[in-house]
Amino acid sequence: MEKLREIAGELLKSNDVKVVIGYTKGMNNKVTPFFAKKQEDIAKLICGNSCAQNLAVYLYKKDISDLGKPAIVANIHTLRGIMRLAVEKQIDKKEMIILAIDNAGDIQKLDNLSDLENYLSSVIPQLNEEDQQMLDELNRMTPGERMVFWKQEMKKCIKCYACRQACPLCYCTRCTVEENQPQWIPVASSVVGNLEWHMMRAMHLSGRCVECGQCGKVCPVNIPIHLLPVRIAQEMKTLYGTSTGISLSEKCDMSTFKPDDKENFIG
């Protein structure tokens, strides 16, 4: 924590960085995103295992970009989010400093994307135990049982789009689900429409999702919605052997064709 505050303080002092995107303790002791802009804000910055949110989502938000060059406190989810956003040319030209924090709490200052690529080359992405257990359970089900499970969950969905808004890779400013001329997917929240919306979202994230689980964490009615994109991410790994948010040279698997691509899923 001290080291983080020290580095963040120096960055702000040098006037090179205008805002440090990180975490603080909010009301009721909850960890919440925080934007340190002045020296007196620095003491409020915190880090640790409870700082789990993927902050990469803030890198392309207008209100925050308007503040000037950022430094961003980055756990593994945020790091992969940044990398993937750069690969997809959303923030590849953005000037920023990345303060990478590993599980042991060690901090490394990364000045550019190739530093980030280096840092990530030694990281093996791993799903947390709880998510893996839930996925195993879903995998054990028959397709029919899985349909029942998801339909039950879809009944609860209120289409608040918190999952989409909190996801760093859901950066489209116009989403198909809100289009009504023509209407692709029912805008109103109903079981079938909700299922269509979440399948559409999961498919759009295939080969892009960085498995941070943020979309599921934020759902106000506790739908483990991240299991859809995360499950597809695992499928992509099995099919094409690729991971996301790790290297600058990775592609978008779903829109890349190679003559030796496996085609065994075509019936």
Partner 1 sequence: MNHQFKLLRKESYSGLIGNLLKSQQVYGPVKQEGYTYYKRISYPDEITEDYIIPQMSAKSFVFPKIEKLFSFVKSKDGVRVEDKNLDTIPKKVIFGVRPCDATGIHNLSAIFLWEPEDSIFKKRREQTTIISFACSSADDYCFCTSLGGGPGNTAGSDIQLIKTGTNDYLAEIITPKGAEIVSSNPGLFEDVDSVEKEKYLVRLPVCFDDSELEDKITDAFDTAIFDDLSMKCVGCGACAFICPVCGCFDIQDETKGSMGQRVRIWDSCGLRQFTLHTSGHNPRDTQGARYRQRLMHKFSYMPDRLGVKGCVGCGRCSRACPVEINIHENLQQITKLVKIHKHE
Length of the chain equals 267
Tell the smallest beta-carbon distance from residue 43 to ligand SF4 (Å).
25
Query: Which does residue 8 bind out of partner 1, ligand SF4, none, counting CB within 5 to 8 angstroms by kind?
Result: none
DSSP state of 186: -
Say which entry of partner 1, ligand SF4, none residue 35 contacts (CB below 5 to 8 A, set by partner kind): partner 1
CB of 164 to partner 1, least distance (A): 7
Nearest CB to partner 1, comparing residues 211 and 253: 211
139 binds, among partner 1, ligand SF4, none (CB under 5 to 8 A by kind): none
3-state secondary structure of 18: coil
End-to-end CA distance of the chain: 54
In the complex, minimum distance from the CB of residue 98 to partner 1, in angstroms, rounded to a whole number: 19
CB of 239 to partner 1, least distance (A): 31
Q: Minimum Å distance from CB 213 to partner 1?
A: 12
DSSP type of residue 224? -
Q: Can you list the alpha helix ranges (DSSP code H) found in 46-181?
A: 62-65, 76-87, 113-121, 129-140, 143-156, 162-166
Binding partner of residue 58 among ligand SF4, partner 1, none, CB cut-off 5 to 8 Å per kind: partner 1
Q: In angstroms, rounded to a whole number, what is the distance separating the alpha carbons of residues 243 and 96? A: 24
188 binds, among partner 1, ligand SF4, none (CB under 5 to 8 A by kind): partner 1
Report how far Cα 109 is from the mean position of its chain's Cα atoms: 21
Token digits for 206?
């295939």
Q: Which is nearer to ligand SF4, 32 or 39 (CB)?
A: 32
The residues that touch ligand SF4, with contacts defined as CB under 6 A, are 157-163, 167-169, 205, 209-215, 219-221, 223, 225-226, 229-230
Helix, strand, coil shares, percent, the chain, to 5: 45, 10, 45
DSSP bridge pairs for 107: 101
**What does the binding site for partner 1 look like in residue numbers (CB under 8 A)?**
26-28, 30-35, 53, 57-58, 61-64, 158-162, 164-166, 173, 178, 180, 183, 186-190, 217-218, 220-222
Closest CA to 35 of 72, 80, 82, 79: 72
